[in-house]
Amino acid sequence: MKFSEFKYERPDLDKVKKSLEEKLDLINTGKDADVEIKAAYDIFKLNDDIGTMGVLVSIRNSIDTTDEFYEKEQEFFDENGPVLREYEQMFIEKLLDSPHRERLVKEFGSLMFERGELARKTFKPEIIPDLQLENKLSTEYGKLQASAKIPFNGNIYNLSQMAPFLQDKNRETRHQAQLAVSKFFEENEAQFDRIYDDMVKVRTKIAKILGYENFIQLGYDRFGRTDYNAKDVKTYRDQIYEDIVPLVNELTQRKAKRLGIEKPKSYDLALSFLSGNPTPKGDRAWQVERAKVMYDEMSAETSKFFNFMLDQDLLDLDAKAGKQGGGYCTFIPNHNAPFIFANFNGTSHDVDVLTHEAGHAFQVFSSRDLIPEYRWPTMEAAEIHSMSMEFLAWPWIHQFFVEDTAKYKFNHLAGAVSFLPYGAAVDEFQHEVYGKPEMTPDERKATWRKIEKKYLPFKDYDDDAFMEKGTFWFRQGHIFSAPFYYIDYTLAQVCAFQYWVKSQENHAAALDSYIKLCKLGGSKSFLGLVDAANLRNPFKKGTVKEIVVPIRGYLDSVDDTKL
């Protein structure tokens, strides 16, 4: 079956609830362990049935935000998701309290129960209306972003389509492109402020109802983080500040020298070379053909995976009007199918997003036969698979970039390192915001600019007064829709760098380790997976300093003035 043939039908909620209640009545009500185990598998199946419909709606709504049918269906799931969450909560609580818990742990593994204890803390039926509001605000933010119609050079563009102009070789084009993008955010400033203000208020309210001091720990618990806390993350951010910020400062100076610019401005940062940034040498179809060759040659496992994706049309990669911005990978349970969504725009980001999302997709494809709770790892671990795949693609990268290959590799590695301080800034900002939820929108902007200057001291907005007052974070969807998620990208990046080092030494061994990691899915915690893959713990002081050494060595060995 092709993706277009995957059938959607709005679930009959009354029927779903009745079936769930029947199965739940078999757990922790005096039945034997075998009956409880069978009931649990039946509940997994029911959740997959409804989850399949929810994912189909979400994908089709994001492909065309103007499709009224799927917009209505998305509203249905926004409204009813939290109601069904109550049944998930009852399920996990019954398993946690079962007299057969020992036998259940043996059947399903202990991590599900550890996460269950966290999930128990994060939900009470009385927060359902607040969760519904949170969902609605998140959807509203996505629609506001997708509504961008930016007039530039005689045409109209969305936010994704503006990216190439921000990398243009002509400095004034970049400058005007930044101002044009800023203008969209400035014109909608009041809406972005209101949406975020409402989000902070409703999340803080939820946290208080659940007995938390503020939303920070609730944010961590929602992501099922069982083996680290805000204090560990602070230690980790300090490593980035001490060991990465100085290197990124140097890389920015090297870039300015390459570009012949004495004092680089914010609109210079997306361009890396006067000869132009590396770009893929063909369109979307051409890139997908090359990706097929790459995955066929990489391993039997990656070949099987990518051909499955192509055969079932599970990639939607073209930017088009009405399509939501960004990129993601999701999973459609009843079709055992990952799905990749992106917005190609002719920049090197196309290849990055293809390999990145393929990393997510390959991981969930590799662990699709595990119980639903373990198909995906927690967020920070999930990003290891995607970011490492970007580096494991290096032996084939010349097929995409041809004469730009050396330039791409330098830019990819330098860009990945340069991302870490920004990721830390996003995280520190959120800790500040949810630590002081009473902040006004203006105070939040001032806080962002202060943190930005700490981690990105080279960022000079020139005459862009709107960005200078601290509004760049408006465009970072994770701050709105997935609070405290963004640090996960940086944690995973530090792990992915270790795969880059391994692959430089022995690509086959690195790939073998990576495939084994993918098969584990989410059956272990973040640090459990890090340990299983023989990677260094990012929270341990000294880890970042050690990883920077080979990266700096590679970057210093390249004469970037010749690229």
| pLDDT tens digits for range 396-410 | 999 999 999 999 999
Q: Which residues of the chain have pLDDT under 70?
A: none
Q: What pLDDT is attached to residue 325?
A: 86
Q: Which two tokens stand for residue 285?
A: 């179809």
Q: Position of tokens 């929108």? A: 441
| Gyration radius of the chain over CA positions | 23
Cβ contact 484:234 at 8 Å: no
Q: Which two tokens stand for residue 162?
A: 């503006």
Strands (E), 116-214: 150-152, 155-157
Query: Distance between CA atoms of 307 and 295, rounded to whole angstroms?
Result: 9
Q: What pLDDT is attached to residue 422?
A: 98
| pLDDT tens digits for range 231-251 | 999 999 999 999 999 999 999
The DSSP result for 224-276, as a single string, is T--S--HHHHHHHHHHIIIIIHHHHHHHHHHHHHHHT-SS--GGGTT---TT-
Residue 201 burial (CB < 10 Å; 0-12/13-18/19+)? middle
The 3-class SS string of 293-315 reads: HHHHHHCHHHHHHHHHHHHCCCE
End-to-end CA distance of the chain: 46
